[in-house]
């Protein structure tokens, strides 16, 4: 079961970022210097210094199935998009890039972290506090020799995209228009584009109704 749950990785992002990925066939890794979690920011800088590289860039995805938390925290309003990738196909593209690696994030208590030795310094980009564990984060990391790099595009093949999920609060008219726009992007015609039913499922509501009408 765990193996099946890790077949896909999901990237929750803005509409503009998702369209860039589709049109340019790339993922853009960013400097972690502006991340919300200052613990994470500090660990990335510590790792950069430890690895003796000029810059560390990253992109955060998740191995979790669709959740309300991910839509609310990692997308902006009703225009959020989730790109669902087949993990093995995506990794085959990413691993062709020198200095790039991927790994699941480990969630630790402070006492667990304090118990590690300096031999574990290589884990710094992949550890977060236990309170973030529901994110089930899967991280793409790139090191490069240039100093203060803020963004770096990484080419991917669109065949790695299993489907595209549209925000559950997106109006149906906008969803229909966006679906048409995506299908007109070269290489995207056969990609499944689905509206999320997480907060408005007819099947779920019908099952509830059946409880009071039998």
Along the 214 residues of the chain, how does pLDDT read in single tens digits? 445 668 999 999 999 999 999 999 999 999 999 898 999 999 999 999 999 999 999 999 999 998 888 888 878 778 889 999 999 999 999 999 999 999 999 999 999 999 999 999 999 999 999 999 999 999 999 999 999 999 999 999 999 999 999 999 999 999 999 999 999 999 999 999 999 888 888 888 899 989 998 6
Q: Answer for the pair 63, 6: CB distance below 8 angstroms, yes or no.
A: yes
User: Residue 10 has what pLDDT?
Assistant: 96
* DSSP element (H, E) containing 194: strand 192-195
Beta-bridged to residue 195, according to DSSP, are: 166
Q: How many CB atoms lie within 10 A of CB 134?
A: 12
- Separation CA 91–CA 106 (nearest Å): 19
Taken in order 90, 152, 75, 127, the sign of the CA dihedral is: positive
User: Residue 1 has what pLDDT?
Assistant: 43
User: In this structure, which long-range contacts are made by residues 123-128, counting pairs with CB atoms below 8 Å and at least 24 apart in sequence?
Assistant: 124/43, 124/44, 124/46, 124/47, 124/50, 125/43, 125/44, 125/47, 125/56, 125/58, 127/43, 128/37, 128/39, 128/40
Return the exposure string of 179-191: e unless at least 16 CB atoms fall within 10 Å of the residue's CB, then b.
Answer: beebeeeeebeeb
pTM: 0.91
């Amino acid at each position: 079961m765990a193996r099946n749950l890790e077949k896909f990785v999901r990237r929750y992002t803005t509409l503009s970022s998702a369209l860039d990925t589709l049109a340019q066939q790339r993922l853009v890794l960013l400097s972690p210097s502006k991340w919300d979690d200052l613990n994470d920011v500090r660990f990335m800088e510590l790792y950069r210094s430890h690895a003796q590289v000029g810059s560390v860039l990253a992109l955060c995805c998740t191995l979790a199935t669709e959740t309300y938390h991910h839509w609310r925290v990692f997308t902006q309003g009703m225009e959020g998009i989730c790109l669902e990738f087949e993990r093995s196909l995506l990794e085959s593209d990413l691993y062709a890039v020198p200095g790039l690696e991927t790994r699941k994030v480990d969630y630790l208590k402070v006492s667990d972290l304090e118990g590690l030795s300096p031999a574990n310094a290589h884990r710094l980009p992949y550890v977060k506090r236990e309170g973030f564990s529901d994110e089930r984060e899967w991280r793409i990391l790139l090191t490069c020799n240039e100093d203060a790099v803020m963004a770096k595009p990484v080419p991917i093949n669109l065949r790695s995209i299993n489907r595209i999920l549209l925000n559950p609060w997106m109006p149906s008219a906008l969803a229909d228009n966006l679906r048409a726009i995506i299908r007109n992007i070269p290489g995207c015609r056969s990609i499944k584009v689905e509206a999320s039913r997480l907060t408005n499922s007819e099947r779920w509501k019908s099952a509830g109704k059946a409880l009071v009408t039998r």
